Amino acid sequence: MPEGSYRFQVGSITCTVLSDGYYSYPAPWFFPNANPAELSQALESHHLPQDEVLSPYTCLLLETGRHVVLVDTGAGEYSRTTGAIQARLEMAGIRAGDVDTVILTHAHPDHIGGAIDLFGRPAFPNARYILSELEWEFWTGAHRDLSHLRVPEASKDAIHSMARRCLGPLRHQIEPVDRETEVVPGVVSIPAPGHTPGHLAVLISSGGHHLMNLGDAAVHPLHLEQPQWENGFDLAADCALLTRRRLMERAVSDDMHVMAFHFPFPSIGRASVKNAGWQWTPGW
Ligand SMILES: [Zn+2]
């Protein structure tokens, strides 16, 4: 596989993780309620920088034989270090027109920015776009409140304007979901609120094998080790922590592989119960 891609099987479903790029965030944005000394020690024990988190953006291509599904679209033109998804798809032998289903875990810029092209048109012209009904209502409605995000106001404004800019052109192709839904055979969207109101996880199952895509229910492996550590981009932190625990307990009890959009590339691995949280073991 070319650089930035990694292919594996979940039963008969061919899965390819595709790197859209990465972005660097100040560490406090990712761990706003962590005790600074404990955070410093945890970062040091993993040989990670103290001040910033280099966060990968990783999308997931699913080829079932009958369907071509893309889970999240990356950030598109949002920053100079992102926007590689179209090229990665081509390297994987997939043209934009081949994708028949796009699942948007939520409408943050790093997940939805690649859903429209440079001209503001849907980047996957033949796809239906699966999005939570709550997510659509939140970003397009009048009562949007981002005051609980623990990131600077400029970031909140950027998040808001990007969601509006992308959702408008997609409106005729969006297929809203409001409960656990089998999107195509073997691929199920799961309500996973907290990060955003309509945040979705995605469960891929075939032949007795499973992959749980957490979306942004955890954005760093330290969020599994320390499951009480919040993410500054979570709109409703309490709800997000409950969701993380619920998804992880399901993944561990059913012996699933786990994927998370922002975990170190290739963003897949396994988790096992350790202390009050989970230990992350990367790889397939
Ligand atoms: Zn994200």
* Mean pLDDT, range 136-164, rounded to an integer: 93
Tell me the CA–centroid distance for residue 101 and ligand 1, in Å: 20
Tell me the CA–centroid distance for residue 67 and ligand 1, in Å: 25
Tell me the CA–centroid distance for residue 11 and ligand 1, in Å: 27
Q: What's residue 22's pLDDT?
A: 95
Sign, CA torsion 260/265/269/275: negative
Q: What is the pLDDT of residues 234-282, one digit of tens each?
A: 999 999 999 999 999 999 999 999 999 999 999 999 999 999 999 999 9
* 23 pLDDT above the threshold of 80: yes
* Mean pLDDT, range 21-34, rounded to an integer: 96
Q: What's residue 35's pLDDT?
A: 96
Q: What's residue 143's pLDDT?
A: 77
Tell me the CA–centroid distance for residue 209 and ligand 1, in Å: 26
Tell me the CA–centroid distance for residue 232 and ligand 1, in Å: 11
Tell me the CA–centroid distance for residue 230 and ligand 1, in Å: 14
Tell me the CA–centroid distance for residue 126 and ligand 1, in Å: 25
Tell me the CA–centroid distance for residue 262 and ligand 1, in Å: 6
Cα separation, 144 vs 272, in Å, equals: 37
Print the SS3 string covering the chain: CCCCEEEEEECCEEEEEEEEEEEEEEHHHHCCCCCHHHHHHHHHHCCCCCCEEEEEEEEEEEECCCCEEEECCCCHHHCCCCCCHHHHHHHCCCCHHHCCEEECCCCCHHHHHHHECCCCCECCCCCEEEEEHHHHHHHHCCCCCCCCCCCCHHHHHHHHHHHHHHHHHHCCCEEEECCCEEEECCEEEEECCCCCCCCEEEEEEECCEEEEECCCCCCCCHHHHCCCCCCCCCCCHHHHHHHHHHHHHHHHHCCCEEECCCCCCCCEEEEEEECCEEEEEECC
Tell me the CA–centroid distance for residue 110 and ligand 1, in Å: 5
Q: What's residue 3's pLDDT?
A: 78
Q: What is the pLDDT of residues 97-111, one digit of tens each?
A: 999 999 999 999 999
Q: What is the pLDDT of residues 34-48, one digit of tens each?
A: 999 999 999 999 999
Q: What's residue 1's pLDDT?
A: 61
Tell me the CA–centroid distance for residue 200 and ligand 1, in Å: 12
Q: What's residue 2's pLDDT?
A: 64
Tell me the pTM.
0.97
Amino acid letter, residue 112: I
Q: What is the pLDDT of residues 185-235, one digit of tens each?
A: 999 999 999 999 999 999 999 999 999 999 999 999 999 999 999 999 999
Tell me the CA–centroid distance for residue 261 and ligand 1, in Å: 7
